[in-house]
Amino acid sequence: CERTGADVDRVRESIGLDKRIGHPFLFPGAGYGGSCFPKDVQALVRTGRELGFPMRILEAVEDVNAQQKGVLFEKIKSHFGADLRDRKIAVWGLAFKPKTDDMREAPALTLIEKLLNEGCRVSAYDPEAMANARNILGDRIEFVERNYDACEGADGLAIVTEWNEFRRPDFERLKDLLKERVIFDGRNLFNPERVREQGFTYYSIGRPPVVLS
C-alpha cells in the first residue's frame, strides 16, 4: 500500500466486505507475537517438512511476519538517516498485544534489539508488561512509570502495542517533551490528518506518511 500510495484501511474494509473473510482480524501492524500463533505456525511448518510436504503458505507467513517486525525500525532509520548512535527513542507498548503482560515473541523486542544494536538509547513504558520486559532486557533500556516520561528528551516516539490509553494522547504535551515532533505508529492508532494538524511528522503502517517540512 505504501509504495502505491493506497490506504490500507480502505483496502482492508473492501476485503472485509467478503463475509467469508470479515473485518474483525484485518488490521495492519508491526507483526504478531504471543505464545500461540507463532508456535502453532512453526509446528505446522515443521510437520510439513518432516513429511516431505513443505507448507509454502505458512512458510511465507513466517517470513512476512519476521519482515513486518522490522518495519518500524526501518522507518526510524529512514527518517533519521543511517547513523542512529545516541538517538533516544521512546517506546509505548511492550507486550505482544494489549490487556496482557505476555512478552513472548513481542514485536517490541525486535524493535528494541535493532535500536540497541544501532547505538540508540531506549526509554519504554507498558501498563502491564514492565516486570516481564525487565526480566528479558535487564538494564539495557530505561523503564519509566508513565508513558509521557519515556518521551522526555526523546528524538521520536514509537508505538508498538495498541493500549487504549495511547489512543488519545496529549499532543501539546508531546510537543514539549520530544526533541523532534515525529511519531512512528506500528498500530495505526491515529488519523493521519489529525496528526498533521497537531504539527507532527507521522509514519504508520500501509498509509502514506505525513512529513512536515
Q: Which amino acid is at 161?
A: T
Neighbours of 9 (CB within 10 A): 18
* The pairing of beta strand 88-92 with beta strand 121-125: parallel
CA distance 16 to 20: 8
The answer to whether 121 touches 148, Cβ cutoff 8 Å, is: no
Selected catalytic residue, list 1, 36, 120, 151: 36
Where does residue 48 rank: exposed (0-12), middle (13-18), buried (19+ CB within 10 A)? middle
Q: Report d(CA 170, CA 180) in Å as an integer.
A: 16
36 labelled catalytic: yes
Catalytic residue positions?
36
